[in-house]
Amino acid sequence: MHSELDALDQKLASLVELTQRLRAENLQLRQEVASAVSLQRKSQDKIEVAAQRLEKLLIQLPEDAQ
């Protein structure tokens, strides 16, 4: 009976350790996703600004150059 309790205690300790590692990994992944989303939004904003500038330049071109 004592050995069964020891085995169960070891399994429980392993489960607790695994849960803590997975929570830490999950937090890290959430932070990485948030960072990636932020970077993607900034990149999209830059693309939109560049597209608007190109449109303005195209409007300014003489008709025979188009």
Is 65 a member of any domain? no
CA 1 to chain CA centroid, Å, is 48
23: buried, middle or exposed (CB in 10 Å: 19+, 13-18, 0-12)? Answer: exposed
**Burial letters for 27-45: b for 16+ Cβ neighbours within 10 Å, e otherwise?**
eeeeeeeeeeeeeeeeeee
Which pLDDT tens digit goes with each residue over 44-57? 999 999 999 999 99
Number of domains in the chain: 1
Which pLDDT tens digit goes with each residue over 2-36? 999 999 999 999 999 999 999 999 999 999 999 99
Q: How far apart are alpha carbons 57 and 49 in whole angstroms? A: 12
Is 37 a member of any domain? yes
The two tokens of residue 12 are 């429980």
Query: Domain containing 6: what range?
Result: 2-60
58, pLDDT greater than 70: yes
pLDDT of residue 66: 56
